[in-house]
Amino acid sequence: MNHIGFIGIGNMGSAMAKAIADSGAEKIVVFDHNEGAYQKFSHYTNVETVSRLEDLVRGVKYIVISVKPQYYQEVCTNIMNLLTDEHVVITVSPGHSIAHIKEVLGEKTKVIRTMPNTPALIGEGITAYSYKCGELLQEEIHSFLKYFNCFGKTVCVDEKMMAAVVAATGSSPAYVYMFIEAMADASVSFGMPRDMAYELTASAIKGACEMILQTKKHPGELKDAVTSPGGTTIEAVVTLEELGFRNSIIKAMTACYNKANQMSGK
């Protein structure tokens, strides 16, 4: 029964389930109130779709709750009497702490709190996770990581850092998309075709990110290497500073962080 099941197969839930299925996992079980969502898995021989929550809970060990935050209470209430000591509940929500989940499901319930991001859709996600020390067996953590590494990287964090994770990785793709869109708009105003503008700006940002990850150099050092004295780049950098570019990013992330804390009741 060392299988994994997903309650909710919207964009994120289906992306995770598909990645795990593509990895060759023996069996994945999925449940969704919208039966039309099952069409996403019609060609998977190792994905079982069920029409009842009871069938999912009884057929798996790892239960991923990947529904919208407002439905968490309902789902937890519906499965609480079906859980055994063997189950591991995995949450995917910015506003539900481990303590909150245990209040509903029971203090003895094994819970892993996760915060993946949307690049998981293409196997490039980053998932932060937390769990109560000493609560899970090492083999259970190993199995969890085996599943979640199918759609990107994983990093263990102290749960008190989860709100910061939401701002740094969960919501940050939206900031980057806005940045790329703005850069593309400017490029189009210079006469560049729209498709080319998106491809060039996105590729440049992807390359810059890889420079940080692969060289391990400080972003400021890499920035300095591009800004020649009296050149074009320093003109752009000075203008960004005049307009409060970095300050606006810090304020936006602080607003995101505060909202995440508010959602979790802090």
> What average pLDDT does the chain have?
95
Residues forming a β-bridge with 110: 88
pLDDT tens digits along 178-236? 999 999 999 999 999 999 999 999 999 999 999 999 999 999 999 999 999 999 999 99
CATH number of 4-159: 3.40.50.720
Q: What is the model's pTM?
A: 0.90
* Tens-digit pLDDT profile for residues 8-22: 999 999 999 999 999
Secondary structure of residue 36 in the 3-state scheme = helix
Domain coordinates in residue numbering, the chain: 4-159, 170-263
| Domain topology for 170-263 | ProC C-terminal domain-like fold (1.10.3730)
Read off the pLDDT of residues 24-72 as tens digits, 9 standing for 90 and up.
888 999 999 998 999 999 999 999 999 999 999 999 999 999 999 889 9
CA dist list (Å): 1 to 56, 59, 94: 11, 6, 29
Q: Do the domains 4-159 and 170-263 sit in the same CATH topology, yes or no?
A: no
